[in-house]
Amino acid sequence: MLSLAKHARCATMHLMQTLVLVLPYIQIALAFLVIGGVLLQRSDASVGGALSGGSDGPATQFSRRGAEKQLFNATIIVAVLFVLSNILAYLL
């Protein structure tokens, strides 16, 4: 019985050490994916509209469709994974 508990503790420690070694690379990859996802998204906001709060009418409103919507959703998912990996790194 004691040997089984010792083996489980050793396996857990090995997993933690592996995670500590691999986690920074995962965070770097997620960071690049978030940056790429944000940069690939369409931006229709103009500086004047952002500063004055004005609207040019219905031409400024759009809905995401197709690949743009998938990119938007993927960017959100990757951003959430990035935040969770940072919280995990803090806890380790």
CA distances to 15, 42, 44, 47, 81 from 50, rounded to whole Å, are 48, 16, 11, 5, 29
pTM strictly above 0.75: no
Taking residue 75's Cβ as centre, other Cβ atoms within 10 Å add up to 19
The predicted pLDDT at position 75 comes to 96
Q: How many CB atoms lie within 10 A of CB 72?
A: 16
pLDDT of amino acid 59: 55
Q: What is the pLDDT of residues 74-88, one digit of tens each?
A: 999 999 999 999 999
Amino acid code (one letter) for 43: S
Q: Where are the domains of the chain?
A: 68-92
Please write the tens of the pLDDT for every residue from 15-68.
Answer: 889 889 999 999 999 999 999 999 998 776 554 445 555 555 555 566 778 889
CA distance 17 to 43: 42
